Chain A
Amino acid sequence: MDCVTRKLHRLVTAAVVGSFAFSSTAMAGQLTVLCWEGYADKSFIEPFEAESGCKVNAVYVGTNDEIVSKIMSGSGTADLISPSNDTTMRLVSADAVSPIDESKVPNMANFLPQFKRPAWDVKDGKLWGVPYGWGIIRVIADPAVVDPKTDTLGFLWDAKYAGKLSVWDDIETVYTASRYLGFKNTYDLSDEQLEQVKAKLIAMKPNIRKYWFTTGEMGTLMASGEAVGGNSWESTIVQLRADGKKIADLMPKEGRGGWSDSWMIVKGAESNPCVYPFLNYVSSAKAQALAHKVTGFGYPNVHVADELDEKTRATYTELGMTDPATLTNVDWWQPVKRRAKYLEIWNQVKAAAN
């Protein structure tokens, strides 16, 4: 045997032995979760595995559609999923998930009132999901240019800010215009209303420097002065404030969009003994604080702030993530039946000449 073959042989042996060693440390139970990246980070999953003896296998997904199509087609043998509030009811209606036995998730008692039985998780008096990461689509502005006391979305159309604003390249911006027009049925607009929304969004275009694609990009646009206002997620505000830039977090009277993910039990998985220990664990303030460090999102447990280090706690509370007042006047996302139509409207807006 020459040197190379011997090395190869050793490598193969090591791999075989290694895989045996791995499989021999079988755990008490197995749990497969279909979730967003960061929702099964080892910083808080490893303690759970050690404590419960349940091995967690995470499959990451990029869109809610991926969760739906995997569950509907039965190709994903998942126990738990983490869809957003524009998808949860669709799964409930499709009879793809099982209701939650709240008595087995005692940590939910410490949730903010808005997340105890939110509309997007309740049907027929039963709870179908355990709320998890959430956030509000913030309306932000540079206080040096835009009056920080501005209380309406109207400034987005103010000709004063020609070429100086940036909004999200997403149908959330369609929702924003609908809120400004005073439509209460943001997620179920008629054709006529959608035409008005489209006209309104095209009217906003002269003010748009760029439609942002990632929250980091919006941060860069604001930091470099390319943009002086628009909408974004909390992370943009955190990033900008950390860099010493003053950012106004506006409270428009027309309301703001809100997203919230929930852990849901795939039908049949409720018998898996690892499911409820996991749900209760991820609902604890400690686990949610660790999760916040990874994702930067809001979490429903009121005690999350207490578990954070001082600096993170300061930004978390400054954003009002622990204050129920922040959660008033939030137009929480809902399933949009005609999402293709909304998207078509949005693409028409983008393709329209400035």
Chain B
Amino acid sequence: MTTIEQTVEIKRTSIRSARAIERRRLFLWLVPPLAWFTIFMLIPYATLLYTSLGHVDDMRFIPGLSLDNFVRVFTVDPYLSVIIKSARIGLMTAVFSSIVAYPLAFYLAFHVRTQRLKFLIYLLVIVPWWASYLVKAYAWKTILGSGGILNVGMQSLGLVHEPVRLFLYNEFSVDMTLTYIFTPFAVLSIYAQLERVPTSLIEAARNLGADGWMIFRRIILPISVPGVVAGAIITFSLAFGDFVAPVLVGGPDSVMISNVVINLLGVAFDWPMAAAIGLVIISLGLLLISASGWLEERTQTRF
């Protein structure tokens, strides 16, 4: 064996052993995420599935392999209609939040010149999150109620003579409350996307004679779509799963799917049915996230 061959051979072995070390390291690096995934995702989901396939007989859980609970979700009133209603409330919240959030995010991204003002507005968006959700939802009662600020104000201005009862305890007040509470998520998500619009692009458009509206329509809006979609997904999901707003400000028919699940767990002790609803919602959520991922990918502008 020549020296060259020897050197090559040594190198080969050292590469091989380096690879082995690398593999062992990789395994070590993979253990925490895999453990996390198993403990917090796989096992709970498996338990959920296991529970959903059984049934309850006089307070005792009887394991089984029946799809009855899933059939009930889709065929027995009120489960599917309540899921649809929750989705509608979620959608309204997502739409309203985007409408409210966009101008603010736009202003924050393009019109605020000083860093200090930017920080201040940013803070004003975030600060309400320091207050408890309950307090904020409750505040809407005192604003929208028969004796609330809105009604008292309108009455003292002579706009109405009787308190308007349409503001509170219906689906509108639920949409309103949820929009107020979750809008910061939409603001932050849209703002993050608008920040990415290169100023060079706007300057180039201006040099080529485009006016403000055209710049917005042809450059800013298309670039911001993924941010709007991401914000809408977050607000939709949060509103869809909400159970506090319908209880506090909802009307007699504002029951949402999470309220039904809580009832099934607490009042009826029907854990299998609750698990089945949970799995249906998780599946719908996965579908939604895949769809939105695809949509974000499609609408993402590359420079």
From 153 to 189 in chain A, residues with beta carbon under 8 angstroms from any chain B beta carbon are: 163, 169-171
- Is A314 at the interface (CB under 8 A from chain B)? no
A343 touching B267, Cβ below 8 Å: yes
- Is A145 at the interface (CB under 8 A from chain B)? no
For residue A352, which residues in chain B have a CB less than 8 angstroms away from its CB? 78, 253
A65 touching B260, Cβ below 8 Å: no
A339 touching B268, Cβ below 8 Å: yes
- Is B153 at the interface (CB under 8 A from chain A)? no
A213-B247, A343-B268, A350-B255 given as contacts; is B145 within 8 A of A224 (CB)?
yes
For residue A343, which residues in chain B have a CB less than 8 angstroms away from its CB? 263-264, 267-268, 270
A210-B251, A210-B252, A224-B146 given as contacts; is B85 within 8 A of A351 (CB)?
yes
For residue A72, which residues in chain B have a CB less than 8 angstroms away from its CB? 59-60
Closest residue of B by beta carbon distance from A212: B247
B266 touching A63, Cβ below 8 Å: yes
Closest residue of A by beta carbon distance from B249: A210
For residue B263, which residues in chain A have a CB less than 8 angstroms away from its CB? 343, 346-347
CB distance from B7 to the nearest CB of A (A): 54
A351-B77, A351-B81 given as contacts; is B252 within 8 A of A211 (CB)?
yes
Checking B59, B78, B85, B269 against A348 with a beta-carbon cut-off of 8 angstroms, the contacting residue is B78
1/0 contact string of B93-104 vs chain A (CB within 8 Å): 000000000000
Checking B82, B145, B253, B269 against A205 with a beta-carbon cut-off of 8 angstroms, the contacting residue is B253
For residue B58, which residues in chain A have a CB less than 8 angstroms away from its CB? 90, 337
Interface size on B, residues (CB 8 A): 31
A351 touching B56, Cβ below 8 Å: no
Main secondary structure of the interface of B (DSSP, over half): loop
CA distance A337 to B56 in the complex (A): 12
- Is B169 at the interface (CB under 8 A from chain A)? yes
From 257 to 303 in chain B, residues with beta carbon under 8 angstroms from any chain A beta carbon are: 260, 263-264, 266-270, 273
A210 touching B270, Cβ below 8 Å: no
CA distance A348 to B79 in the complex (A): 8
B147 touching A224, Cβ below 8 Å: yes
- Is A225 at the interface (CB under 8 A from chain B)? yes
CA distance A343 to B270 in the complex (A): 10
A340 touching B268, Cβ below 8 Å: yes
Closest residue of B by beta carbon distance from A344: B76
CA distance A313 to B268 in the complex (A): 37
Closest residue of A by beta carbon distance from B169: A210
- Is B165 at the interface (CB under 8 A from chain A)? yes
For residue B147, which residues in chain A have a CB less than 8 angstroms away from its CB? 224-225
For residue A169, which residues in chain B have a CB less than 8 angstroms away from its CB? 247
Checking B85, B165, B266, B273 against A65 with a beta-carbon cut-off of 8 angstroms, the contacting residue is B266
Closest residue of B by beta carbon distance from A206: B252
B266 touching A226, Cβ below 8 Å: no
CB distance from B62 to the nearest CB of A (A): 14
A225 touching B252, Cβ below 8 Å: no
Closest residue of B by beta carbon distance from A339: B268
B59 touching A347, Cβ below 8 Å: no
Checking B82, B146, B266 against A347 with a beta-carbon cut-off of 8 angstroms, the contacting residue is B82
CA distance A351 to B89 in the complex (A): 14
CA distance A340 to B270 in the complex (A): 7
A353 touching B268, Cβ below 8 Å: no
A171 touching B77, Cβ below 8 Å: no
Starting from the known contacts A224-B146, A340-B270, A350-B252, 14 additional A-B residue pairs (CB-CB under 8 Å) come to A63-B267, A68-B59, A205-B252, A205-B253, A209-B165, A210-B250, A211-B252, A340-B56, A344-B76, A346-B263, A347-B82, A347-B260, A350-B78, A351-B253
Q: Which residues of B contact A (CB under 8 A)?
A: 56, 58-60, 76-78, 81-82, 85, 145-147, 165, 168-169, 247, 250-253, 255, 260, 263-264, 266-270, 273
- Lowest 3 CB-CB distances: which A-B pairs, in order? A351-B78, A340-B268, A208-B252
